[in-house]
Structure 1
Amino acid sequence: MTDDDGKVVKTSDGTPKTCECVTENKSKQWLTGLVADITIFTYGMQTGWMSPSIQVLQGPNSPSGYPLSDYEISWIAGTVTIVAVFFCLGFSVVCDRYGRRMSLVLVAVTQAIGWIIKLISANPVCLIVSQVFVGIASAGVYTCAPLYIKEISSDSIRGSMASAGIVLQSVGTLIMFGIAPHLEYHTVLWLVTWIPVVNVLLLLKIPETPPYLVKRGKIDEARTTIASLVGLEPDSKSVNASVECLTKAQEYFDTLPKISLKRAFADKATRRAFYIGLFVVSLLDFGGNFVISIYASVIIKNSGVTVRPELQALSLPAIMIIGSLVSTVTVEKYGRKPLLISSLIINGLPMAILGILLILPTYGFEIAQWIPVLCVIITVFAYGAGVLPIPYIILMEIFNFEVRAMVFGFYVTYGWFLCFLQTIIFTPISQALGMHVIFFLFSAVNIISAICCAIWLPETKGKSLEKIQDELCAR
């Protein structure tokens, strides 16, 4: 942001106030953002492919030529998480070096390769290799897509656009759960392989983000892009003001030494933003929802409840969609902080009840079969409504352009590691101490996180980056 003399207006700690897209016509921003979000939709389909495919791959008519063993299935299923941990930081480098749009193109290409290899062969080695590409793409999805959405969207719709990606992820999973059990194995793959292929073509048509174009010295292209996104002429005052704002900020950053973690942490606002980011990613990925999404059938079975497998498979992503739609509609009205706090409480209480329900049968008590199912439904809803989307929205909003890609790569790596950690500790702790202990732990994490959010987390709804950083410096 510049003052009347054309000088860079700075925050209280000396860093420049950065610029957002001017807010006029938002339809082009939504359409452009949805093209980027197709990568998240494909991610939802690829993560949803494994569950309904296990029965096919282990059946007598397995496309692999023989029924796969549990050991082979475990490798096929586990490869994605392991690979994703090692590629997140690489995608943050790609985002900064080659642009946000081209990094999304790379994600979509990798997603297409993952499907194509599955289509060519169902040999377990080929399936593992295909899952390696899915893992690489999964590392990039939540590193690249949120960055792109942040940098092409106006403050007033930023949260809703980010939540829309979560809706599409759940829709992708639901579609896969719906079609995979009822269509032939290769028919499913033929249908879904075209989605990332078409996505690549669409991504090549959308613009690069204005901040990245300015960073590369493409000022005229940045002006044209901003004008297109907000529905104004390139020579309008509002567009010129935004371009000048971005240019002045970039000139300031160009005078500084090359960005590094040490220099980033020297900035008070960035340092506090990093701690907040670490906190929200921790509560997102260690709150128990990832375990519930994987072990829902085991949890319900251990509670003495019998649910039709196909009904259970379709119900969880459907509930996630409802929760995500609630987030999309309410996040700009009520704010990030109230939505996250309420969803953490709603998430934590049913987990405590689940823990109690898992203990009661050992003392001879009978429980109504609908109660554990309701608890799982509530936690999945809370996950979609706030626990999953809000941390990513906050991460989008609290970092400046210079460090955004770098820290996103770190956080996504950290998040995948926590997901992997949950999956490997769940079974041993459940067997040693009882499954109820795990759910009491997850409940405590959610409730304590809600209290910490109420005390410590800043509200970012509708605020520009400069205002958010000023508030962080004042804390």
Structure 2
Amino acid sequence: MLLKAPESPAYLLKIGKVNEATSAIAFLRGLNAGNELVIKEIENMKNEDLYIKSLPNVNFFSIFKNSVWRRSFLIIMSLMTMHACNGSFAIIIFASPILTDSGSNVNPELQSISFPFISTVAVFISMGCVERFGRKPLLGTCFALIAAAMMCVGTVVLIQHFGGTVPFWIPLIAMIIAVAGYAAGPSPVPFIVLSEMFNFQIRAKLMGCIVCYTWLMNFIQLFIFAPISNGLGLYATFYLYAGMNILAIFISLVVLPETKGKSVEEIEDILKNKYKLTD
């Protein structure tokens, strides 16, 4: 499959192969090379390339001296924190004990096996929605679904803790919704936004740092899951996850700029006007 994949359009444009870059964009978008959207995108990339060439050499620390880039970095880091700490990954890893504590009699191993299928279906749905509705609505909706699912699982565990009973399918459906919501929104979309908010010169400097931070947060979330659950109760852990997702809804719908169909310059202008920033 990689042998069939085209070279990066940004790289082709950088080395002066404009026609090849246009063909690559058309292939990736499923459009003809003469399509208006393809032409607009290649023009935006040309302008971005000229803008980058006019800048002095950018290093990791100089990025933070620019208020717009610094704000963009903080927004992305906040979004990646929500991506890593919304609780869905913990559900995937700890499905068996969670189902046991919630009183479900469903085979935990069977439930764990179902997660990849659920995630695959959710990703295909996300692919059809992300360009139609935009990044912000998709992220906000998915975080809302996950928040509701986390509150549901937490409430079920709390009822079980005090000796009550609930139908076995309620925690099962809630966990499926959480995993599907994660696969459709918080898992892929932050990386789409990351690629759209920064030009390729800055992306090259920040990508490793951001990805490393994201995996570190995933590790911390999984590492502290058992101690928090044992200390505060499993229900409290899921209520905390619900709170994280509510915060994520705010970040997605209020703080994050919409990046769909916008150039890096347009996104920077949105941030400048919204937060009264200067270069």
Query: Normalization by structure 2: what TM-score?
Result: 0.86
The alignment status of 1:289 with 2:127, answered yes or no, reads: no
Q: Name the counterpart of 2:168.
A: 369
The alignment status of 1:223 with 2:22, answered yes or no, reads: no
Matching residue's letter, 1:227 = S
Q: Name the counterpart of 1:331.
A: 130
Question: What is the Cα deviation at residue 377 of structure 1?
Answer: 0.9
Matching residue's letter, 2:252 = C
Matching residue's letter, 2:160 = P
Q: Name the counterpart of 1:450.
A: 249
Matching residue's letter, 1:362 = H
Question: % of aligned pairs identical?
Answer: 35
Instruction: Point out where structure 1 has 5 or more consecutive residues left out of the alignment.
Output: 1-34, 36-198
Structure 1 residues 74-153: aligned runs within 5 Å: none
Matching residue's letter, 1:311 = L
Q: Name the counterpart of 1:14.
A: none
Question: What is the Cα deviation at residue 240 of structure 1?
Answer: 9.1
Aligned partner (choices 371, 377, 380) of residue 179 of structure 2: 380
The alignment status of 1:313 with 2:121, answered yes or no, reads: no
Q: Name the counterpart of 2:226.
A: 427
Distance 1:470 1:208 in 2: 29
Deviations 1:108-161 (A, max 9, x none): xxxxxxxxxxxxxxxxxxxxxxxxxxxxxxxxxxxxxxxxxxxxxxxxxxxxxx
The alignment status of 1:352 with 2:151, answered yes or no, reads: yes
Secondary structure of the residue aligned to 1:387 is coil
The alignment status of 1:472 with 2:271, answered yes or no, reads: yes
Question: What is the Cα deviation at residue 254 of structure 1?
Answer: 3.5
Question: What is the Cα deviation at residue 427 of structure 1?
Answer: 1.0
Distance 1:281 1:435 in 2: 24
Instruction: Point out where structure 2 has 5 or more consecutive residues left out of the alignment.
Output: 27-31, 275-279
RMSD in angstroms over aligned alpha carbons? 2.6
Size of the aligned set, in residue pairs, is 269
The alignment status of 1:212 with 2:3, answered yes or no, reads: no
The alignment status of 1:262 with 2:61, answered yes or no, reads: yes
**Residue pair 1:343, 1:383 contacting (<8 A) in 2 also:** yes
Structure 1 pair 326–241 and aligned structure 2 pair: CA distance change class (3 A) = closer
Distance 2:105 2:244 in 1: 29
Question: What is the Cα deviation at residue 408 of structure 1?
Answer: 1.6
Structure showing greater Rg: 1
Distance 1:283 1:353 in 2: 19
**Residue pair 1:305, 1:369 contacting (<8 A) in 2 also:** yes
Question: What is the Cα deviation at residue 266 of structure 1?
Answer: 2.6
Structure 1 pair 462–243 and aligned structure 2 pair: CA distance change class (3 A) = closer
Structure 1 pair 368–466 and aligned structure 2 pair: CA distance change class (3 A) = same
Q: Name the counterpart of 2:216.
A: 417
Aligned partner (choices 257, 262, 274) of residue 73 of structure 2: 274
Q: Name the counterpart of 1:50.
A: none
The alignment status of 1:302 with 2:98, answered yes or no, reads: no
**Residue pair 1:323, 1:381 contacting (<8 A) in 2 also:** yes
The alignment status of 1:391 with 2:187, answered yes or no, reads: no
Structure 1 residues 25-44: aligned runs within 5 Å: 35=1
Matching residue's letter, 2:210 = Y
**Residue pair 2:7, 2:24 contacting (<8 A) in 1 also:** no
Query: Normalization by structure 1: what TM-score?
Result: 0.52
Structure 1 residues 174-189: aligned runs within 5 Å: none
Distance 2:207 2:264 in 1: 16
Distance 2:189 2:171 in 1: 26
Structure 1 residues 137-176: aligned runs within 5 Å: none
Q: Name the counterpart of 1:56.
A: none
Question: What is the Cα deviation at residue 465 of structure 1?
Answer: 2.2
Matching residue's letter, 2:187 = L
Structure 1 pair 422–232 and aligned structure 2 pair: CA distance change class (3 A) = closer
Deviations 1:136-188 (A, max 9, x none): xxxxxxxxxxxxxxxxxxxxxxxxxxxxxxxxxxxxxxxxxxxxxxxxxxxxx
Secondary structure of the residue aligned to 1:266 is coil
Question: What is the Cα deviation at residue 318 of structure 1?
Answer: 1.5
Matching residue's letter, 2:196 = E
Deviations 1:165-219 (A, max 9, x none): xxxxxxxxxxxxxxxxxxxxxxxxxxxxxxxxxx4xx1xx54432322343xx31
Matching residue's letter, 1:283 = M
**Residue pair 2:60, 2:206 contacting (<8 A) in 1 also:** no
**More off after superposition, 446-455 vs 271-280:** 446-455
**Residue pair 1:347, 1:382 contacting (<8 A) in 2 also:** yes
**Residue pair 1:350, 1:375 contacting (<8 A) in 2 also:** yes
Query: Relative contact order (C-alpha < 8 Å, sep 6+): which is higher?
Result: 2
Secondary structure of the residue aligned to 1:314 is helix
Question: What is the Cα deviation at residue 224 of structure 1?
Answer: 2.6
